[in-house]
Amino acid sequence: MVDLLIEASALAFHPYVLMYVFLGVLLGITLGAIPGLSGDMAIALLLPFVFFLEPAMAMGLLVGIYKGGLFGGSIAAISFGVPGTPGAAATSIDGYQAKLKGKPSKALHTALYSSVIGDTTSDLVLIFIAVPLAAVALTFGPIEFFALYAFSLILIAALSQGMVAKGLAVAAIGILLAMIGRDPITGASRLTFGMPGLSGGLSLIPVLIGIFAISEVVIQGSKLWRRKVDKLMDDVAEQASLLQGYDIRKDKLTWPEFKATLKATYIGAAVGTFIGALPGAGQSLAAFMSYGLAQRFSRKPEEFGKGSLEGIASAESGNSATAGSTFIPLFAFGIPGSATAALFGAAFILMGMTPGPSLLTDNTEIIYALFLTLIFANLVNLVLGKFLLPYYSRIAMIQPGYMIPAVFILAIVGTYAANNSVVDVWVLLFAGVLGVTLRLMSFPLAPLVLGFIIGPGAERALRQSMIMGGGDWSVLITSPIAIGFYVAAFALILLFTLALRAKT
Amino acid sequence: MSFPLSKTAIAVGSAMLTLAAGSALASDGPSLGSDPIRIVMPYGAGGSTDITARIIAANAAEHCGSRIDVVSMPGAGGMEGLQFVADAEPDGHTILMADYSATITQTLTEDTPWEVDDWAPIVHLTDWKPTVYVKADHDIQSIDDWIEMAEANPGSLVFGHADPLSLVHLPLVLLEQETGIENVHLPTTGGGETRTMILGGHIDLGMTLPPSIVSNVNSGEVTAIGVFADERSDVLPDVPTFQEAGYDVSFEAPLLVYTFGTVPEEIQQQLSECIMTGLESDTAQAMGQQASAGLENVQGRDSARAVYEATTERVRDVVASLDLD
Amino acid sequence: MNRTITRELLSGALMLGLGIAGLLHIQYGAWRPAPLVPSYIMPQTAYYFLIGSALWVLGILGLYALRGKVSALERPGGDAQDLVAVGVSCALMLGGGLVYFWMVLNVGLIVSTVLFNAVLVAVLAPNVSLKGLLIVPPLVGLAVWVLFQRMIGITLPPSLLF
| CB within 8 Å: B5 and C30 | no
The whole-number pLDDT of residue B146 equals 95
Q: How many Å lie between the alpha carbon of B5 and the closest alpha carbon of chain C?
A: 5
Chain A residues with CB-CB distance to C92 below 8 A: 221, 225
- What lies within 8 Å, CB to CB, of A324 at 6+ separation is A119, A121, A122, A123, A124, A125, A126, A127, A273, A276, A374
| CB within 8 Å: C30 and B325 | yes
Please give the residue of chain A at the shortest CA–CA distance from B15.
Answer: A49
Angle at alpha carbon of residue A480, lines to A146 and B138, rounded to 5°: 85
- Please answer whether residues B69 and C155 qualify as being in contact, where contact means their C-beta atoms are separated by less than 8 angstroms: yes
CA atoms lying within 13 Å on the CB side of residue B163: 14
The whole-number pLDDT of residue A161 equals 54
Q: What integer best gives the mean pLDDT of chain C?
A: 85
The whole-number pLDDT of residue B18 equals 33
Q: How many Å lie between the alpha carbon of C106 and the closest alpha carbon of chain A?
A: 12
> CA-to-CA distance for A427 and A422, rounded, in angstroms?
9
CA dihedral for B159, A199, A156, A107, sign (positive or negative): positive
> CA-to-CA distance for A291 and A88, rounded, in angstroms?
12
Q: How many Å lie between the alpha carbon of B6 and the closest alpha carbon of chain C?
A: 5
Which residue type sits at A148?
L
Please give the residue of chain A at the shortest CA–CA distance from B83.
Answer: A197
The whole-number pLDDT of residue B14 equals 35
Report the predicted TM-score, pTM, of the whole model to 2 decimal places: 0.80
Q: Does B69 touch chain C (CB under 8 A)?
A: yes
User: Hey, which chains touch B, using 3+ CB pairs under 8 Å?
Assistant: A, C
Cα distance between the two ends of chain A:
53
3-state secondary structure of B119: strand
Question: How much of chain A is in helix, strand and coil states, percent to nearest 5?
Answer: 80, 0, 20
> CA-to-CA distance for A399 and A46, rounded, in angstroms?
36
The whole-number pLDDT of residue B147 equals 94
> CA-to-CA distance for C133 and C130, rounded, in angstroms?
5
| CB within 8 Å: B89 and C30 | no
**pLDDT digit string (tens) for A86-136?**
788 889 889 988 888 888 888 999 999 999 999 999 999 888 877 666 677
> CA-to-CA distance for B52 and B295, rounded, in angstroms?
8
| CB within 8 Å: C155 and B89 | no
Size of interface A-B (CB pairs under 8 A): 188
Per-window interface: B 188-227 vs A, CB < 8 A: 188-189, 192-193, 195-197, 199-200, 202-203, 212, 214-216, 218-219, 221
The whole-number pLDDT of residue B23 equals 33
Percent of chain A surpassing pLDDT 70 = 87
Per-window interface: B 51-70 vs A, CB < 8 A: 51, 54-55, 57-58
Q: How many Å lie between the alpha carbon of A166 and the closest alpha carbon of chain B?
A: 31
| Whether residue C58 has pLDDT greater than 70 | yes
ipTM: 0.93
Q: Among partner residues B13, B76, B203, which is closest to A48 by beta-carbon distance?
A: B13
Q: How many Å lie between the alpha carbon of C11 and the closest alpha carbon of chain A?
A: 6
Q: Among partner residues C151, C153, C157, which is closest to B87 by beta-carbon distance?
A: C157
Per-window interface: B 72-131 vs A, CB < 8 A: 72-80, 84, 109-112
Q: Among partner residues B3, B4, B89, which is closest to C158 by beta-carbon distance?
A: B89
HEC per residue, chain C: CCHHHHHHHHHHHHHHHHHHHHHHHHHHCCCCCCCCCCCCHHHHHHHHHHHHHHHHHHHHHHHHHHHCCHHHHCCCCCCCCCHHHHHHHHHHHHHHHHHHHHHHHHCCHHHHHHHHHHHHHHHHCCCCCHHHHHHHHHHHHHHHHHHHHHHHCCCCCCCCCC
- What lies within 8 Å, CB to CB, of A41 at 6+ separation is A31, A417, A418, B45, C152
CA dihedral for A352, A358, A360, A364, sign (positive or negative): negative
The whole-number pLDDT of residue B6 equals 36
Angle at alpha carbon of residue A444, lines to A439 and A164, rounded to 5°: 135
The whole-number pLDDT of residue A132 equals 67
> CA-to-CA distance for B207 and B202, rounded, in angstroms?
14
The whole-number pLDDT of residue A150 equals 84
Q: Among partner residues A187, A354, A357, which is closest to B163 by beta-carbon distance?
A: A187
Which residue type sits at A439?
R
Q: pLDDT below 70 — which residues of chain A?
A: 1, 36-37, 45, 48, 51, 131-134, 155-163, 231-249, 279-281, 333-335, 337, 356-358, 393, 396-397, 496-497, 499-504
Per-window interface: B 292-321 vs A, CB < 8 A: 292
Q: What is the mean pLDDT of each run of 10 residues along chain B (325 residues)?
A: 35 34 37 77 77 88 85 79 87 90 87 89 92 94 94 92 87 91 88 85 92 84 93 91 92 92 90 91 86 84 92 90 69
| CB within 8 Å: B2 and C30 | no
A189-190 and B131-135 strand pairing: unpaired
The whole-number pLDDT of residue A410 equals 86
| CB within 8 Å: A342 and B46 | yes
DSSP B241: B
User: Hey, which chains touch A, using 3+ CB pairs under 8 Å?
Assistant: B, C
Q: How many Å lie between the alpha carbon of C33 and the closest alpha carbon of chain B?
A: 9
> CA-to-CA distance for A298 and A287, rounded, in angstroms?
16
The number of beta carbons lying within 10 Å of the beta carbon of residue A122 is 30
The whole-number pLDDT of residue C150 equals 80
- Across the beta sheet with B131-135, the strand order is B184-187, B158-161, B205-208, B131-135, B222-227
> CA-to-CA distance for A58 and A50, rounded, in angstroms?
5
The whole-number pLDDT of residue B8 equals 36
Q: What is the dihedral of CA B1, B4, B5, B9, to 10 degrees?
A: -140
**pLDDT digit string (tens) for C93-124?**
999 999 999 999 999 999 999 999 999 998 88
Q: How many Å lie between the alpha carbon of A200 and the closest alpha carbon of chain B?
A: 3
User: Distances in Å between the alpha carbon of A444 and those of A174, A437, A440, A441, C144?
Assistant: 12, 11, 10, 9, 33
> CA-to-CA distance for C94 and A426, rounded, in angstroms?
10
Q: Does B26 touch chain A (CB under 8 A)?
A: no
Please give the residue of chain B at the shortest CA–CA distance from C32.
Answer: B325
Q: Which helix (H) or strand (E) holds B259?
A: strand B253-260
> CA-to-CA distance for A46 and A29, rounded, in angstroms?
16
Q: Does B248 touch chain A (CB under 8 A)?
A: no
Q: Does A68 touch chain B (CB under 8 A)?
A: no
